[in-house]
C-alpha cells in the first residue's frame, strides 16, 4: 500500500487517534480519508460513552476577553483528575470553547438546560409564524418542530457547529477530546458578557 504511512499521518493529524486505530480505519474504508474520519468518530463516540458515567470533580474555570474588551466569557469545564486539568490539550480545548461562546453566542450548554416556559414560548411564536404564512394547520407541527430544532442548534453550545471546523459539533468535539485525553469531561456552565448588553 504505497502512501499508507502518509495517509495514517494525515488521519492522525485530523483526528488525534492512535496509529493502530488510524490503520484499522483506513483498512475498513478502503483508504478513504473522509470515511475513515467518520469511522473513527463513531468509534470515538462509543468510547466516550463508556467514560460518561465517571465523576468529574476537577477541571478549570477559564476566562477569555475578546480584543478590545468588548466581549468576555467565563467557562467551567470539568474532568476527572487535577493532572488532566493542568494538561495543555485540555487547556486548549477549554480555550476553544470560550472562543466558540464569544463568537456563536449560545445561551445554554445543552437543550435540557432550557426552561420549559422558554421552549413553550418559542413553539407559540413558530406556530404563529406558520399561521401568518398561510400554511395549513396540519403542517404546523412539522414546521414548529423544524424551527425548534434550529433554535436548539443556535442556542445550545453542545449542538452548535465548531467555528474552527463546521463539520463537527461541540458535542462531537467533546467526545473526541474524551477519547484523546482518556478521561470523562463535562462542560458545566458558562457566562458570556457583551459590552452594553442587558
The pLDDT tens digits of the residues spanning 16-67 come to 666 777 888 888 888 888 888 778 777 765 555 555 566 667 889 999 998 7
Taking only Cα atoms into account, the Rg of the chain, rounded to an integer number of angstroms, comes to 20
Q: Cα(first)–Cα(last) distance of the chain, in Å? A: 60
Alpha helices, DSSP H, located in the chain: 4-15, 19-28, 33-51, 82-85, 88-104, 116-132, 140-155, 170-181
Q: Where are the domains of the chain?
A: 4-51, 58-109+156-194, 115-154
Listing DSSP states for 32-64 in one string gives -HHHHHHHHHHHHHHHHHHHTTS---EEEEEEE
Regarding the domain delimited by 4-51, which CATH topology (the fold level of the hierarchy) does it fall under? Helicase, Ruva Protein; domain 3 (1.10.8)
Q: For residue 169, give the nearest of 58, 80, 59, 48 by alpha carbon.
A: 48
Pick one of 3.40.50.300, 1.10.760.10, 2.60.40.790, 3.30.479.20 as the CATH number of 58-109+156-194: 3.30.479.20
What string of pLDDT tens digits covers the 198 residues of the chain?
445 788 888 777 666 666 777 888 888 888 888 888 778 777 765 555 555 566 667 889 999 998 789 999 999 999 988 888 899 999 999 999 999 999 999 999 999 999 999 999 999 999 888 888 888 888 888 888 999 999 999 999 999 999 999 999 999 999 889 888 888 899 999 999 999 887
Q: Which backbone phi and psi does 74 adopt, to 5 degrees?
A: -125, 125
CA distance 111 to 1: 46
Is residue 104 within 8 A of residue 163, CB to CB? The reply is yes
- Does domain 115-154 fall under CATH 1.10.286? My reply is yes
Amino acid at each position: 500500500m504505497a502512501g499508507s504511512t502518509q495517509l495514517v499521518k494525515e488521519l492522525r493529524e485530523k483526528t488525534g487517534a492512535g496509529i493502530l486505530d488510524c490503520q484499522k480505519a483506513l483498512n475498513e474504508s478502503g483508504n478513504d480519508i473522509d470515511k475513515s474520519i467518520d469511522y473513527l468518530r463513531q468509534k470515538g463516540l462509543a468510547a466516550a460513552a463508556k467514560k460518561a458515567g465517571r465523576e468529574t470533580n476537577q477541571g478549570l474555570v477559564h476566562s477569555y476577553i475578546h480584543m478590545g474588551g468588548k466581549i468576555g466569557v467565563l467557562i467551567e469545564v470539568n474532568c476527572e483528575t487535577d493532572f488532566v486539568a493542568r494538561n495543555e490539550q485540555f487547556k486548549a480545548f477549554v480555550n476553544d470553547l470560550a472562543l466558540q461562546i464569544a463568537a456563536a453566542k449560545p445561551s445554554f450548554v445543552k437543550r435540557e438546560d432550557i426552561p420549559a416556559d422558554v421552549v413553550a414560548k418559542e413553539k407559540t411564536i413558530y406556530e404563529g409564524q406558520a399561521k401568518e404564512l398561510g400554511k395549513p394547520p396540519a403542517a404546523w407541527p412539522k414546521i414548529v418542530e423544524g424551527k425548534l430544532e434550529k433554535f436548539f442548534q443556535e442556542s445550545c453550545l453542545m449542538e452548535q457547529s465548531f467555528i474552527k471546523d463546521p463539520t463537527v459539533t461541540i458535542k462531537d468535539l467533546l467526545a473526541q477530546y474524551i477519547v484523546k485525553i482518556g478521561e470523562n469531561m463535562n462542560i458545566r456552565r458558562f457566562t458570556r458578557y457583551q459590552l452594553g448588553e442587558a
